[in-house]
């Protein structure tokens, strides 16, 4: 059996910053309300014509550059997104073409805000069984395109962005304890109505808008994410004290802080970008991870716990020794 080492990461955020105050100029909301309930101060918005594949391509290029690889070193490209450029082909194949990658396989995974954890689990399993040696896992979203900008209960919560990581196969015995230690995935489709997009090619032939019962989602998010934290620790025979960094999905500061408390982690060991990025769905975990790697907080050998929850509902975790 092989082990997947996480060797590099890259991120991309669109240039345009949209502040709470700007939203408050055209909707009945306020910077104070948004900050107090969510911790969000601003978010990035993709430029007109800038697509999910554009964002994902730049993040992927930066991840490859960090490890000194070219696109043709990659066997597998898995893109987590709920906001694809087109109904088909997969956004992954668009990113593949732009990277200049002419071999291997590329496909999308759709698990909304848990998308990155799902895509990472898929790529990890390809590597474990020897079906890929090098994988790129990308989380890329343009949620600004599916928001109802008249609905103050949802439009203030989301932003656009992309993050990517490189996974490389090594023999288990040569991993020195590093790499993807475990992934755990869950879903429960009974919760569709709490968080969904009211459009799609087969139902309405429209793109639709995101609809959410905020309180219901909040309640489930706190309990499901706490469960997966416990599950990841138990599966690896670890205690909260073993975790160096929590890199949670960035939905809401109150949820992030609650998960940090569950692990007894001091706040500076919980990576948070929600204040500047808002919720970028499948991109939020790799964006946060990449920020903490690039600024030197996360060091080689650190134990990093990632967890997320999203529409479906879906939820899950990935435990990685960086």
User: Is 249 annotated as catalytic?
Assistant: yes
Where b means 16+ CB within 10 Å and e means fewer, 175-202 reads beebbbbbbbbbbeeebeebbbbeeeee
Give the integer Cα–Cα distance in Å for 304 and 76: 23
Joined together, the tokens standing for residue 301 give 């050998």
Residue 175 · residue 161 · CB < 8 Å: no
Closer of 107 and 218 to ligand ACO (Cβ):
218
The residue from 249, 252, 277, 290 that is catalytic is 249
Closer of 195 and 287 to ligand ACO (Cβ):
195
Q: Which residue is nearest to ligand ACO (CB)?
A: 214
User: Is 172 annotated as catalytic?
Assistant: no
**Least distance (Å) between residue 150 CB and ligand ACO:** 12
The residue from 113, 155, 191, 220 that is catalytic is 113
Closer of 140 and 212 to ligand ACO (Cβ):
212
User: Is 9 annotated as catalytic?
Assistant: no
**Least distance (Å) between residue 277 CB and ligand ACO:** 12
Binding site for ligand ACO (CB under 6 A): 29, 33-34, 37-38, 113, 152-153, 156-157, 195, 212, 214-215, 217-218, 221, 249, 251-252, 279, 309-310
**Least distance (Å) between residue 260 CB and ligand ACO:** 15
Residue 118 · residue 80 · CB < 8 Å: yes
Burial class, 172, CB count within 10 angstroms (exposed 0-12 / middle 13-18 / buried 19+): exposed
Closer of 161 and 179 to ligand ACO (Cβ):
161
The residue from 110, 155, 279, 290 that is catalytic is 279
Residue 40 · residue 275 · CB < 8 Å: yes
Give the integer Cα–Cα distance in Å for 158 and 142: 9
> What residues are labeled active site?
113, 249, 279
């Amino acid at each position: 059996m092989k082990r997947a080492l996480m060797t590099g990461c890259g991120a991309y955020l669109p240039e345009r910053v949209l502040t709470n105050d700007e939203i408050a100029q055209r909707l009945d909301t306020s910077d104070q309300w948004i900050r107090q309930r969510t911790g969000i101060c601003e978010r990035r918005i993709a430029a007109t014509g800038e697509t999910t594949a554009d964002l994902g391509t730049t993040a992927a290029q930066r991840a490859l550059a960090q490890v000194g690889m070219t696109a043709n070193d990659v066997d597998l490209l898995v893109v987590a997104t709920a906001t694809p450029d087109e109904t088909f082909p997969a956004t992954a194949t668009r990113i593949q073409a732009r990277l200049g990658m002419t071999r291997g396989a590329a496909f999308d995974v759709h698990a909304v805000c848990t998308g990155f954890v799902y895509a990472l689990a898929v790529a990890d399993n390809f590597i474990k069984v020897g079906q890929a040696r090098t994988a790129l896992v990308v989380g890329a979203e343009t949620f600004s395109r599916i928001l109802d900008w008249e609905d103050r209960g949802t439009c203030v919560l989301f932003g656009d962005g992309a993050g990517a990581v490189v996974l490389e196969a090594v023999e288990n015995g040569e991993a020195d304890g590093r790499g993807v230690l475990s992934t755990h995935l869950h879903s429960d489709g009974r919760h569709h109505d709490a968080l969904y997009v009211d459009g799609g090619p087969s139902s309405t032939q429209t793109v639709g808008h995101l609809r959410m019962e905020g309180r219901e989602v909040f309640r489930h998010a706190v309990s499901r994410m706490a469960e997966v934290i416990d599950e990841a620790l138990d599966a690896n025979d670890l205690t909260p004290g073993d975790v160096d960094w929590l890199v949670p999905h960035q939905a809401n500061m109150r949820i992030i802080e609650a998960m940090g408390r569950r692990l007894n982690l001091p706040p500076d060991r919980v990576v948070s970008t929600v204040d500047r990025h808002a919720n970028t769905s499948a991109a939020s975990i790799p964006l946060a991870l990449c920020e903490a790697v690039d600024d030197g907080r996360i060091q080689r050998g650190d134990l990093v716990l990632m967890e997320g929850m999203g529409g479906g509902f879906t939820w899950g975790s990935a435990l990685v020794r960086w």
